[in-house]
Amino acid sequence: MLVNCMVYCRGEKLTDIALDKLGDYLRLPDHFVWVALRDTHTDELQQLKTQFGLHELAIEDVINGYQSPKIEEYGENVFVILQLIDVVGGELVTGEVNIFAGHNYVISVRQRSRQGFSSVRARSEREPHLLGQGPAFVLYALIDSVIDRYFQALSVLEYELEKIEDTIFNAGIERTNIERLYQLKRKLTMLKHAVTPLMESIPKLYGGRVPAICSNSQEYFREISEHLARINASMDNIQDTISTAIQVNLSMVTIHQTDISKRLAAWAAIFAVATAFAGIWGMNFEHMPELQWRFGYVAALATIGCVCGYLYVRFKKSGWL
């Protein structure tokens, strides 16, 4: 569905028009149109293809969806695919945005995401001196907005990791921590899939041979590349910390199991002594002196109790119990 369709001239908004009325404005110099769509159908995409001369391979990518982030050139036009990462209730939800940019148009097609780009349009319209650069600045503003969402997702991951680290040495929740760490690792992988391909693609928009529409805005795309480098470095740190936390947690499990084994061994030793005494006095030989002693039973119990008590004290001091 169509979200909005605006016409701009030298950075100033002129009017909001329908898609079928764009032809008149596309032929005017110093004018460009900014079209925003959400969850489009094939018929709408075919209409855009006809009006703007979009490449059929790019249209095919939009129709198929679930594409890896990339930036491609089709003649003088640029086609960008970005993964959207929205934070919903502490969870990361993925979507997709496809951006077509030419010398007189920008088209954004948002898929599977409720969070739009109205704030990007409002911000751009408040800066007409930047919007006057044309579609290149709009392309930068849209990409920059997506990168900002990556920073928000990164903050969520860092906060979750800190909460897990606070409980990593608490006894009895080792299994829960392992599950939380692997869930966090899955979220980090989701963010990596969105960021890593962009680190290779964004340099196409600055330095060396760049698309014609981006030639006067290269410093903005260089800033995006720096932001991606910061995000990637933070993700590497989180990944290292997660790996360390998993190893520490597994070590805690091993230590806990060792403590249990020590306790079992200590109690087994204590009962083994008691069993040994009982076994000896249970041998009913005819000439066994203790059998005829009046206090033999009490003395036997006292001996077993003293020996077992002595072993208990020694195991307690050694940390086995």
- All CATH 3.30.460.20 domain ranges of the chain, comma separated, are 2-252
The pLDDT value given to residue 233: 95
The pLDDT value given to residue 278: 66
- Report the candidate in 244, 126, 134, 143 with the shortest Cα–Cα distance to residue 184: 244
Q: Which amino acid is at 249?
A: N
pLDDT digits (tens, 9 = 90+) for 248-286: 888 877 777 777 777 777 777 777 776 776 665 665 545
The pLDDT value given to residue 212: 85
pLDDT digits (tens, 9 = 90+) for 71-101: 999 988 999 999 999 888 878 899 999 999 9
The pLDDT value given to residue 239: 93
Among the listed ranges 7-16, 155-164, 197-206, 310-319, which one has the minimum average pLDDT value?
A: 310-319
The pLDDT value given to residue 150: 94
Among the listed ranges 78-82, 159-163, 309-313, which one has the minimum average pLDDT value?
A: 309-313
Mean pLDDT value across residues 11-38: 85
The pLDDT value given to residue 291: 58
Beta carbons of 224 and 147 less than 8 angstroms apart = yes
The pLDDT value given to residue 101: 93
pLDDT at 11 over 70: yes
Distance CA 38, CA 3 (A): 7
pLDDT digits (tens, 9 = 90+) for 170-216: 877 878 888 899 999 999 999 999 999 999 999 999 887 888 888 88
The pLDDT value given to residue 319: 67
CATH of region 256-318: 1.20.58.340
Mean pLDDT value across residues 219-226: 92
The pLDDT value given to residue 310: 76
Per the confidence metrics, is the pTM higher than 0.85?
no
DSSP symbol at 114 = S
pLDDT at 24 over 90: no
Strand 105-111, strand 31-38: pairing = parallel
- All CATH 1.20.58.340 domain ranges of the chain, comma separated, are 256-318
The pLDDT value given to residue 314: 73
Q: Which amino acid is at 206?
A: Y
Angle between helices 135-166 and 118-125 (to 10 degrees): 130
CATH of region 2-252: 3.30.460.20
Distance CA 264, CA 31 (A): 82
The pLDDT value given to residue 290: 58
The pLDDT value given to residue 284: 56
Residue 285 host element (H or E)? none
The pLDDT value given to residue 226: 94
In angstroms and rounded to an integer, the radius of gyration of the C-alpha atoms of the chain is 35
Distance CA 319, CA 311 (A): 12
pLDDT digits (tens, 9 = 90+) for 103-160: 899 999 998 888 888 899 998 888 888 888 889 999 999 999 999 999 999 999 999 9
The pLDDT value given to residue 83: 94
Q: What secondary structure does DSSP assign to 16-44, as a single string?
A: E--GGG-HHHHTSTTEEEEEEEES--HHH
* Mean pLDDT score of the chain: 85
The pLDDT value given to residue 36: 92
Beta carbons of 87 and 152 less than 8 angstroms apart = yes
